[in-house]
Amino acid sequence: MPPNPLIALVNGRLVGDHGPREGQVVLVRGKRIVAIVAHDDARIGDAQKHDLQGHLLLPGFIDVQVNGGGGLLFNDAPTVDTLRGIAQAHRKYGTTGMLPTLITDTAEQMHAALTAVDEAIEQRVPGILGIHVEGPFLATARKGIHNADLFRLPDASDVEVLTAPHKGVVMLTLAPDQVSPAIIARLSEAGVVVVAGHTGADYATTRAALDAGVCGFTHLYNAMTPLASRDPGVVGAALDDPYSWCGLIVDGHHVHPATLRVAIAAKAQGKCVLVTDAMPPVGSDNPIYVLNGQTIVMRDGICQSEAGVLAGSGLDMAGAVRNAVEMLGLPLAEASRMASSYPAAWIGLDRTHGRIAAGYHADFAVMDDSFTVRETWVDGVAYPVV
């Protein structure tokens, strides 16, 4: 067999812009998609056939906010081995690309996390696309589960570390009421994907941050000033701005489904993105973990401290897609895009990731009609799940 045989993904239902369609075959060679062809295309005869058994074929999911999984927390050990374990845990839920997320920590830990992600990409750990640094430039009033004792203002060394050349995407969540537009502009101009979150900013401050380079919002509605009649707040700025992206945790716990539908209706299509904010219990049998010295327990999919503070989630991307369809009433095609092409666009990878199209990475989630993932493909390699 040649080193890069042509593989034909047959007997599947390709989920495109108009929903699932039968009779289409995806041809893959190496890491890339060669073509999407009809079932009687001559090239299929010479290809190695892979039977999808009638299941749905979706673009692989891209999660821009993953704190942990498989019993591992990125903050605890920002190493290549940790990243490999987290990516493997999420792969069983159709996640083919992720931004491992370091929540508020020391400058030393932030540097270690950036280095680990660079090394993981260098070593071609499947699924690692970059890093999401969530904090420590946040507002105490909206700290959530973050350790406010570690909050600080960015200094020159922070900016230097974040804007240095890195192997993958660097996303940074900061509070616009803590970080000046000048620094936001410097980070954005250097290629950092700057987003707002854990902030007590008002509308005007958030608007100024958007003008300076903020391009999105971390877990919209949570840990930010709400929309009110005479005080639009961060939420109002997010919904009012036509260009920014909004991460949505669709687990039924972080945000009410009706509130999520309002955001989706308000934003232009393509600007609402499914995220998990996943913690170690995802892909693990252990519902307990320790975060900032606090014991967190996952019960009924809700991760909370003893004081009842939400601490990330127990959500996976297959569950997010399922909830978007069943809880929010979205078409499968749109839920699929919210988990693939839209996040790819947010982080600037939409020319190579997030779609089933010729020339794109061969990243797929193979799901049955109950939204259970059967296989996950990353760069043309199939990983059976069940």
Task: Classify 357 as helix, strand or coil.
Answer: coil
Instruction: Give yes or no for a contact between 234 and 201, defined as CB atoms under 8 angstroms apart.
Output: yes
Q: What are φ and ψ of residue 147, in 5° steps?
A: -85, 100
User: Which tokens is 113 given?
Assistant: 């996390």
Q: Known catalytic residue: 51?
A: no
Single out the catalytic residue among 105, 158, 277, 316: 277
Q: Quick check: 295 and 288 in contact, CB under 8 A?
A: yes
Please report, in range form, the residues annotated as the binding site for substrate: 145, 222-223, 230, 254, 310-312
> Residue 67: what residue type?
N
Strand partners, 246: 217, 272
- Annotated binding-site members for Zn(2+): 134, 198, 219
Which residues participate in the annotated binding site? 134, 145, 198, 219, 222-223, 230, 254, 310-312
What are the phi and psi torsion angles at 110 (to 5°)?
-65, -45
Extract the runs of DSSP E, i.e. beta strands, from 53-138. Answer: 56-59, 61-66, 68-69, 72-73, 95-103, 130-134
Beta strand pairing call for 364-367 and 373-378: antiparallel
Measured over the CA atoms of residue 59, residue 60, residue 66 and residue 70, the dihedral's sign is positive
Which sequence positions are flagged as catalytic?
Answer: 277
